[in-house]
């Protein structure tokens, strides 16, 4: 085998090693990228944080990635904390993403107005909303991430279409004509059942 062939093989092996090396760093970057919800060890409440993904990727090039926060909803007041919350990331930080928790909450639920079940959620388009005790709807992305766990406990899910309609209804009541309907205590539509005639079963009609 000629020297040029040895050199070519060595170059291919080197390039392959570099690609794998950089690929691992890129994988680390995307693994820790995005806003996450962690429980603050000091308060026991949710905190919205961002991991320094670029730093984690850079340090992964020479060994184990170094994890630290780049943002936290409790900063700057508590910026000098020990960042013990990072231990909650575990083997799959994806489970800590705000988006993942939002998807999990809407999964299996139906809109409080039209009762249509929620399908696949989209991050950039037609984001679903929430109906609060004040009977106002708001898109989940307009709510501070660290308050979402508490908001989910007191609000009802609303699809994007109904959110748009109810927002218009609230802002321009003079342009809306309401049909009689059965609404709950938060203004949500309830399933209506027409009463049957006395003594007549729906199955007995011909």
Last residue of a domain, one of 67, 93, 119: 93
Give the DSSP letter string of 29-55.
HHHS-SEEEEE-TTTSSEEEEEE-HHH
Same domain? 110 vs 82 = no
In a domain? residue 202:
no
In a domain? residue 199:
no
Q: Which residue has tokens 């909650």? A: 88
Count of domains observed in the chain: 2
Greater confidence, 203 or 78?
Answer: 78
In a domain? residue 31:
yes
Q: What is the pLDDT of residues 11-38, one digit of tens each?
A: 666 666 556 666 788 899 999 999 999 9
Same domain? 104 vs 181 = yes
- To the nearest 5 percent, what fractions of the chain are helix, strand and coil? 40, 15, 45
Residue 32 domain boundaries: 1-93
Distances (CA, A) of 24 to 13, 21, 46, 61, 90: 17, 5, 30, 8, 18
Same domain? 68 vs 102 = no
Same domain? 143 vs 108 = yes
Contact criterion met (CB below 8 Å) for 29 and 57? yes
pLDDT level of residue 47 (50, 70, 90 thresholds): very high
In a domain? residue 140:
yes
In a domain? residue 35:
yes
Residues 6+ apart with CB under 8 A from 36: 48, 49, 50, 51, 89, 93, 96, 97, 98
Same domain? 85 vs 153 = no
Task: Please give the pLDDT value at position 186.
Answer: 58
In a domain? residue 197:
no
Quick one: which of 125, 150, 153, 149 has its CA closest to 139? 125
pLDDT level of residue 62 (50, 70, 90 thresholds): confident
Would you call 139 helix, strand, or coil by DSSP? strand
Last residue of a domain, one of 43, 69, 93: 93
Same domain? 101 vs 40 = no
Label the pairing between strands 156-158 and 129-131: antiparallel
Lowest mean pLDDT, pick from 40-44, 150-154, 160-164, 176-180: 176-180
Same domain? 88 vs 10 = yes
């Amino acid at each position: 085998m000629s020297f040029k062939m040895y050199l070519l093989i060595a170059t291919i092996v080197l390039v392959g090693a570099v690609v794998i090396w950089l690929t691992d760093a890129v994988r680390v970057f995307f693994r820790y990228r995005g806003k996450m919800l962690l429980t603050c060890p000091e308060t026991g409440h949710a905190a919205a944080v961002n991991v320094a993904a670029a730093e984690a990727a850079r340090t992964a090039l020479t060994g184990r990635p170094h994890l630290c926060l780049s943002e936290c909803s409790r900063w700057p007041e508590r910026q000098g904390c020990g960042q013990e919350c990072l231990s909650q990331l575990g083997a799959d930080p994806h489970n800590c993403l705000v988006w993942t928790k939002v998807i999990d909450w809407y999964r299996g639920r139906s809109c409080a107005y039209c009762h249509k079940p929620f399908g696949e959620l989209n991050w950039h388009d037609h984001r679903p909303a929430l109906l609060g005790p004040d009977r106002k709807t708001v898109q989940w992305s307009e709510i501070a991430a660290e308050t979402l766990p508490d908001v989910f406990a007191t609000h009802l899910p609303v699809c994007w279409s109904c959110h748009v309609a109810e927002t218009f209804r609230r802002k321009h009541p003079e342009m809306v004509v309401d049909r009689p309907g059965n609404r709950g205590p938060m203004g949500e539509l309830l399933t209506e059942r027409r009463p049957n005639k006395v003594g007549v079963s729906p199955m007995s009609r011909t």
